[in-house]
Amino acid sequence: MADNARAKKLADLIREVVAQKLQRGVKDPRLGSHVTITDTRVTGDLREATVFYTVYGDDEDRASAAAGLESAKGILRSAVGAAAGTKFTPTLAFVADALPENAKTIDDLLAKARAEDAKVREVSSGAQYAGEADPYRKPGEDEDDEGTAAE
């Protein structure tokens, strides 16, 4: 079993090699410049690598990019094997990264919270205190009351 540093180093190498090969070496029109490699993870035994990617475009572009990556898997694995120089070249699995969808969900939630905050500010702009503006006792104000109660 390899140590984590070696797996991390191999994952970084795989990410760079796959990104460069997609940009320059693969002639598939489905894999144009709208595919971005975001992350790569390698198992502890260095046998399997998961490559996360995002696609700029709609669902049809994502589906065609996934099919293009599956068809180019052999070319990409050969390029990784040539660059890595390891005894066994890890198998590649391509997974669409959910990061853009998660970021959009967070942005929508933040926009909703901003709208709710604006409503609260609007409602509270003309509000007044239920009692006095400063409801706390201050030293010296109630001394007269204590003096008469003790007598």
The structural domains of the chain, with segments of one domain joined by +, span: 2-98
DSSP state letter for 90: P
What is the rounded average pLDDT of the residues 20-41? 83
0.85 exceeded by the pTM? no
Q: What is the pLDDT of residue 132?
A: 74
- By the 8 A CB rule, do 52 and 38 touch? yes
Q: What is the pLDDT of residue 149?
A: 52
Q: What percent of the chain has pLDDT over 70?
A: 90
Report the mean per-residue pLDDT for the chain: 84
Burial zone of 42 (CB within 10 Å; 0-12 exposed, 13-18 middle, 19+ buried): buried
Grouping H, G, I as helix, E, B as strand and the rest as coil, residue 138 is coil
pLDDT digits (tens, 9 = 90+) for 101-138: 888 899 999 999 999 999 988 888 877 777 777 778 78
Q: What is the pLDDT of residue 68?
A: 87
Q: What is the pLDDT of residue 131?
A: 73
Assigned architecture for domain 2-98: 2-Layer Sandwich (3.30)
The alpha carbon torsion through 79, 84, 87, 89 (nearest 10 deg) reads: -40
pLDDT digits (tens, 9 = 90+) for 63-76: 888 888 888 888 89
Q: What is the pLDDT of residue 1?
A: 52
Q: What is the pLDDT of residue 92?
A: 93
What is the rounded average pLDDT of the residues 135-146? 69
Burial 19-36 (b: 16+ CB within 10 A, else e): bebbeeebebebbbeebe
